[in-house]
Amino acid sequence: MLATAELGPDFAILGQQYKKLISALVEVVNMPAVPVEVAPVADGNFRGFDGNQFYVVERGSLTARYQDKTVYLLEEGDILLPDIAGMGDASVAVFYGSDSGAKLGAYPALEFMRRVFADQAATKLWTRLLVTYAGIMLRITAANIQDQAEATPGFEVYEPGDVIIRQGERADYVFNMSAGVAEVVVDGVVVGRIGEGEIFGAMAALTHADRSATVRAKTTCSVVKVPKEQFTELIKNNPATIHSLLIDMANSIVNLNEQLVGLRG
């Protein structure tokens, strides 16, 4: 995905991770795509556009336009998700076209999501994809705001020993470990670990509680940070993500219990 505004290297890193998640998700879902050829189009949606389909760009690029302004470009490996908010009102819709043509792979959205929700690995990939997408859109939105506003961190790199979450602090973010390994520490004792692909910090954020543990980088960690309000909205719009979260939380509890039993022994 390419932004029309100038953005930092973190946007490029998120974009690369986003494409990897899309590729992995399509592979796990294992659903044949219907080829769609997109002719160059100056305005409106491309011919054959269907809001009930997902499209993956296989060649060329698509432009996403909002109120006659191009806000970002979808390139090879990116996915076009339906714009639910604008489907009933053209004045607030996002329109998709192509300046020089493109080739897409189309997937019926309902069948695609049925397969996602039927597979634990696919559900987890979908959750990670949505969290990463939220981080990307946050940057694009901020870059297109003219007035100065307080910056909201959405992506950070932590070096070994850096504290990502501190026990007792207020929970303002939910985190997704894009790369790296971190330790979970309670009262100075290491009780668990967090690896690539895991979502953490959700329990305290969703229950408005203080952090119950410290999370400290064991290796260099790339972390997506989503404000808790935005994460709550994401869950409301995609209830199936709760399934993936519950699995991660349950695994964390099992690991914690094992660590406590070992310490008592």
Mind giving me the DSSP string for the chain?
Answer: -EESS---HHHHHHHHHHHHHHHHHHHHHT-PPEEEEE---SSSSPTT--TTEEEEEEEE-EEEEETTEEEEEE-TT-EE---GGGTT-GGG-EEEE-SS-EEEEEEEHHHHHHHHHT-HHHHHHHHHHHHHHHHHHHHHHHHT--S-------EEEE-TT-EEE-TTSB--EEEEEEE--EEEEETTEEEEEE-TT-EESHHHHHHTPBPSSEEEESS-EEEEEEEHHHHHHHHHH-TTHHHHHHHHHHHHHHHHHHHHHHHH-
Domains 2-125 and 155-264 share a fold: yes
- Distance, in Å, from the CA atom of 96 to the CA atom of 25, rounded to the nearest integer, reads 23
Q: Per CATH, which fold does 2-125 belong to?
A: Jelly Rolls (2.60.120)
Least confident of 84-93, 165-174, 234-243: 234-243
Using left for φ > 0, alpha for ψ between -120 and 50, and beta otherwise, residue 102 falls in beta
Give the model's confidence band at 217: pLDDT under 50 very low, under 70 low, under 90 confident, else very high: very high
pLDDT at position 150: 42
Burial state string for 203-241 with b = 16 or more CB within 10 A and e = fewer than 16: bbbbeeeebebbbbbbeebbbbbbbbebbeebbeeeeeb
Domain boundary assignment for the chain = 2-125, 155-264
The CATH architecture of the domain made up of 155-264 is Sandwich (2.60)
Least confident of 111-115, 139-143, 237-241: 237-241
Q: What is the pTM of this model?
A: 0.65
Express each pLDDT in 51-65 by its tens digit. Answer: 889 999 999 999 988
Give the model's confidence band at 38: pLDDT under 50 very low, under 70 low, under 90 confident, else very high: very high
Asked whether residue 19 carries a pLDDT value surpassing 90, the answer given is yes
